[in-house]
Amino acid sequence: MRLDKFLKMSRVIKRRTVANEAADNGRVSINGKVVKPSYEVKVGDIVEIKFGDKVSKFEIIRIPSSVNKNIDEYIKLL
């Protein structure tokens, strides 16, 4: 699944366009590398998102198959 779609479906970011912009602007890295919105996420990837002074870091533990409001099913905060 694409990174931008994962961030939206897992409810980490509410809109796919915002996820897309964050990745395009270099604010999203996976496993220490800045990635594009089209990056194919995998279970075990460590994602870091920077919004201003705030940094969110988590591990992908499952890829969603549909929109779900419980993000704890998909990520583990680090």
pLDDT tens, position by position, 31-72: 999 999 999 999 999 999 998 899 999 999 988 776 555 666
Specify whether domain 3-77 bears CATH 3.30.450.40. no
Structure tokens at 29: 């890295």
Would the pLDDT of 11 be above 60? Answer: yes
Q: β-strands 33-34, 28-30: how paired?
A: antiparallel
d(CA 12, CA 43): 16
With beta carbons less than 8 A apart as the criterion, state whether 47 and 30 touch.
Answer: yes
Cα–Cα nearest to 31, from 74, 63, 60: 60
Would you say the pTM of this structure is higher than 0.85? Answer: no
Lowest mean pLDDT among 17-21, 22-26, 46-50, 69-73: 69-73
